[in-house]
Amino acid sequence: MSLLFESYEKYPYFCGRVMQKVTNPLVWLARFRHRCGYGVHSPFAFRFITDVIYEEHPYYAYQELDRRLPLSMRLRRRKGLHLLLRLSNHLQPDTIVLPCDAWWEKRYLQSGCHSAKFLCQWPAGEVSMCLLSEPSNEVLNHIGSRSVLMLDNLHHHREWFDNLPSVVSFDLYDFGIAFFDKQYNKQRYIINF
C-alpha cells in the first residue's frame, strides 16, 4: 500500500485515473461505449464533451489546488473537482450557488472563474450556475435559459434529475450536468467519466 502512495506523489494524475478504474470497474465497463463523444452528433454537445469533460491537459491551477487536498479526497474526489474547474473556466458564470459546506468545490470553481459571485442562499433572480449535493425543487425558481445545474451524487438522485425541464443533460454517473438553453435540441447523453 505504501508503494501506491509513493507512486501517487510522483505521478498524481496517472494514479488518480488508475484508482478510478480500479474502484469502479463495473460502472466503467458498462459505460465503455459512451466515451470521448462517440455517437454524439450535436456540435455543442460534442465540443462540451471533448473540450470540458474529457480535457486531458493539466490546467494552470491543478497542481497548486491538488497539493492542498487531503489524501482521502485526492484519490476519489479529485476528478470531479477538476471537472468543476474546467466547467467554470469554460462557462465563466456570473453567479454560482453552492452548498455552504462545499469549501473545496468553491476553491476549484473560483480558480476557473475569478469574477463569479458565490452564494450559499438563493438570490432574488436567476443564477448562472448551481451546484447541488441534494435535489432541491427551489432551483426551478432560479434557473433561466442560460443557467447550468450540476448535481453531485447523481446515481442516488437520478429520477429527480431526469425530471428536470432541462434541454441538454449529461449523465456522468456520479455527476449530472444540465443546460436549460432552448436553442438546443432536447437530448440526454450518457458519458463514461
Q: Spell out the SS3 assignment of 99-167.
A: CCCCHHHHHHHHHHCCCCEEECCCCCCCCCEEEECCCCHHHHHCCCCCCEEEEECHHHCHHHHHCCCCC
Interhelix angle 103-112/78-91, nearest 10 degrees: 40
- Residues in contact with 176: Cβ distance below 8 Å, sequence separation at least 6, in sequence order: 149, 150, 151, 154, 157, 158, 161, 169, 170
pLDDT in tens, 94-134: 999 999 988 889 999 999 999 999 999 999 889 999 999 99
Rounded CA separation 127/11 (Å): 38
Domains of the chain from N-terminus onward: 2-190 (3.40.50)
Using alpha carbons only, how large is the chain's radius of gyration in Å?
Answer: 17
pLDDT in tens, 162-189: 999 989 999 888 899 999 998 888 898 8
Look at residue 86 in the predicted model and tell me its pLDDT.
92
pLDDT in tens, 18-48: 444 455 666 555 555 555 555 676 888 888 9
On whether the CB atoms of residues 150 and 169 are closer than 8 A, the answer is: no
User: Residue for cell digits 471533448?
Assistant: 50
Cell numbers given for 111 = 480558480
